[in-house]
């Protein structure tokens, strides 16, 4: 068994995507490959077959390996729910809620959980591709680290460092990492990769050699800006700040960028539709009056983000949009916000309280300590179109029996009904993430708004992009040297 860990000089340098691409590349070569991230911090979570949750990036990496996601692939997941605290998920289940001092005090126990998961994956794989988090140069966090060098040294896994040349300063970021980290940590790094290069790669030859000379690490390649990456789900919310690509759009769909937005890859299929302009509405900006559909997405903290929504004045914009005859969709926490009330009697999200929702659907929600985690499939009731997706939420939402103001939205394969649709069909809400992945379901939504869909299944789009990424990495990365570093015979 071999292993190698990809760490970065910072966040959003491409670690998650490169791990996915290498996983698919080696899987295509016939190897048994497993992805692993010791600790992730993200509100983008996926549901595993055994009813746990892990980061969605690790779910993508599992797909790249052509295996089902498993809780061992991301044994510790931190889900921020305020500026100073996060829900702690260990082996797929809620373990606790803590702040920075909590994590430092729990380092030993969390590291034990991480190493146990890594050991199980190692036993079943030819090679494990490990993803770091943030940067090892954050030496102020080194004492309690289990995500980067803390794990690498505990498990004796060699490291390849990734630098992002697109953001500038890549020579200083890589050489500077070696300068600031502990010498024993630096000894774990065996090579480096340059990512996101635009233009003539030969122009960087001198810089590439300068990094190798100053660090003593092997250069494993310069990876250009790869166009297929925009088809893959992004883990870091920084992607939401980037401009949408230009299209010949005929409709506009506005998604509210809540402060604790979760599972925003729900909207990737819409982003890829040529006739759709997907507008992520940032805080402080009004919702475009030109939008045909407003989507209130999932969130880690429903009541806090409902207050946030109102603070932006978006409740006023939504009310005006509805008066104009526009459509509104709420997903998960967004569905809860569309209702009449949200009650938190046990203080799950903070103070025990009951707040008024937006009042657009005749439902009431009670937040509960238990979390629903399940993969699900079914059909939309109005048009009988199939969908597949997953539920990941706290809270039960109920409609008053006999209420004629709305109808159920979805019928699940297990016989349950989910969500509600207003009597005029313009206000909808449900708990299902991944609703737009199915081509038929997405076609129906877009036709209702006046657009024609590309008709592509999102799963097929992602799988094809992974193969394209793997082929590109075969060309630009010294995979044989990477395998030698990982301890795999080539």
Active-site residue list: 332, 433
The alpha carbon torsion through 382, 384, 388, 391 (nearest 10 deg) reads: 30
Best CA proximity match to 445, nearest among 268, 279, 251: 251
Count the alpha carbons within 13 Å of 360 in the hemisphere toward its beta carbon.
29
C-alpha span between 300 and 259 (Å, rounded) = 9
Whether the CB-CB separation of 52 and 46 falls below 8 Å is answered with no
C-alpha span between 93 and 443 (Å, rounded) = 35
Task: Say which residue the tokens 């990769």 belong to.
Answer: 193
Task: Label the pairing between strands 45-47 and 53-55.
Answer: antiparallel
- 243 DSSP assignment: P
Whether the CB-CB separation of 258 and 393 falls below 8 Å is answered with no
C-alpha span between 56 and 138 (Å, rounded) = 24
Backbone Cα Rg of the chain: 23
Count the alpha carbons within 13 Å of 475 in the hemisphere toward its beta carbon.
9
C-alpha span between 352 and 342 (Å, rounded) = 11
* Helix, coil or strand: residue 382: coil
Task: Label the pairing between strands 53-55 and 218-224.
Answer: unpaired
Best CA proximity match to 215, nearest among 207, 223, 227, 224: 207
Whether the CB-CB separation of 189 and 6 falls below 8 Å is answered with no
Residue 466 — φ and ψ, nearest 5°?
Answer: -65, -40
């Amino acid at each position: 068994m071999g292993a190698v860990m990809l760490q970065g000089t910072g966040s959003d340098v491409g670690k998650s995507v490169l791990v996915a691409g290498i996983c698919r590349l080696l899987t295509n070569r016939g190897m048994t490959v497993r992805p692993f991230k010791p600790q992730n911090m993200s509100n983008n979570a996926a549901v595993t077959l055994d009813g746990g949750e892990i980061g969605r990036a690790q779910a993508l990496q599992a797909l790249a390996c052509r295996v089902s996601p498993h809780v061992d692939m991301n044994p510790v997941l931190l889900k921020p729910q305020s500026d100073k605290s996060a829900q702690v998920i260990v082996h797929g289940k809620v373990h606790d809620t803590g702040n920075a001092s909590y994590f430092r005090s729990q380092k030993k126990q969390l590291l034990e959980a991480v190493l146990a998961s890594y050991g199980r994956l190692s036993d079943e794989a030819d090679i494990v591709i490990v993803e770091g988090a943030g940067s090892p140069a954050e030496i102020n966090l080194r004492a309690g680290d289990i995500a980067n060098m803390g794990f690498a040294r505990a498990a004796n896994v060699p490291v390849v460092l990734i630098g992002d040349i697109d953001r500038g300063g890549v020579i200083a970021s890589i050489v500077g990492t070696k300068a600031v980290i502990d010498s024993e940590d630096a000894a774990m790094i065996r090579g480096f990769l340059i990512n996101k290069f635009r233009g003539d790669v030969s122009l960087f030859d001198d810089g590439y050699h300068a990094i190798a000379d100053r660090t003593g690490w092997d250069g494993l390649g310069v990876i250009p800006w790869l166009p297929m990456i925009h088809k893959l789900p992004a883990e870091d919310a920084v992607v939401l700040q980037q401009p949408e690509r230009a299209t010949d759009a005929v409709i506009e769909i506005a998604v509210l960028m809540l402060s604790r937005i979760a599972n925003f890859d729900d909207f990737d299929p819409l982003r890829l539709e040529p006739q759709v302009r997907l507008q992520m509405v940032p805080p402080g900006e009004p919702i475009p009056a030109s939008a045909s559909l407003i989507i209130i997405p999932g969130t880690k903290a429903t009541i806090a983000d409902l207050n946030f929504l109102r603070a932006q004045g978006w409740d006023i914009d939504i009310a005006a949009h509805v008066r104009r005859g526009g459509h509104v969709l709420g997903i998960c926490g967004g569905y809860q916000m569309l209702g009449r009330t949200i009650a938190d009697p046990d203080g799950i999200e903070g103070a025990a309280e009951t707040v008024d929702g937006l009042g657009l659907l005749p439902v009431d929600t009670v937040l509960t300590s238990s979390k629903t985690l399940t993969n699900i499939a079914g059909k939309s009731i109005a048009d009988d179109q199939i969908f597949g997706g997953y539920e990941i939420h706290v809270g039960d939402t109920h409609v008053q029996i006999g209420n004629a103001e709305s109808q159920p939205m979805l019928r699940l394969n297990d016989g349950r009904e989910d969500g509600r649709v207003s009597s005029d069909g313009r206000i909808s809400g449900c708990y299902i993430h991944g609703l737009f992945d199915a081509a038929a379901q997405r076609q129906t939504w877009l036709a209702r708004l006046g657009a024609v869909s590309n008709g592509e299944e999102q799963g097929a789009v992602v799988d094809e992009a992974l193969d394209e990424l793997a082929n590109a990495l075969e060309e630009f990365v010294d995979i044989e040297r990477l395998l030698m570093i990982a301890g795999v015979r080539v």
